[in-house]
Structure 1
Amino acid sequence: MSIKSRLTEEVQPDYVVLTLPIGKPHQESPIKKDLMRALILDFCKEPKNFLEIMNLLNLKDRVNFKRVYISPLIAEGLLSMTDPDSPTSRNQMYVATKTEKS
């Protein structure tokens, strides 16, 4: 959606008010998302912790990173936790599984 299609204009006798909504989440391109996923899986051939993976991708938002990348990879069976019984453990590490999709 372009900025022009979200821009509203209100004309008053002596001035014009332009309103542009802000705060919508940025949508990542599917190509970038696929590249990031591939980097994570390649990097996690050996177990890596959450911060090591985030640093590799130069990302800062832990919640968004987990929601967009880590959780979907785990749900698809491409990434697994080294300690699945304690998913929030500070010692949790992630490793790529051997069943990657071709």
Structure 2
Amino acid sequence: MSYLALFFSGAFLCNCVPHLASGLRGEPFPTPFAKPRGVGDSSPLVNVLWGYFNLLAGLYLLTRQPVTIGVNANCLAVFAGALVLGVYMSVHFGKVWQGKHARS
């Protein structure tokens, strides 16, 4: 069970980055609260709040399952979660971005 928590910790921490970056720059970015979900843009404020939620969730999971930095199973589980979500997000938002530019 600890590897699953660490995997999701990495996923939450990875997901906080684009939302916080967009929100702090004052730019809209898709969130699960947009219409259509995950495609439409949410306000910068929503992105900052969603980004901080993801940051806190990822950090909370790390406090429940501490990780020693290095080449070990726990650290690899966090890395795997960040990598899997990062790859998914890059493909998904690449399509969203192309769709928005095709319409303009």
Please, what TM-score do these two structures have when normalized by structure 2? 0.29
Q: Which has the higher strand share?
A: 1
Which structure carries more relative contact order (alpha carbon 8 Å, separation 6+)?
2
Instruction: Give the TM-score of the pair, scaled to structure 1.
Output: 0.29
Tell which structure's C-alpha radius of gyration is larger.
1
Q: Which has the higher helix share?
A: 2
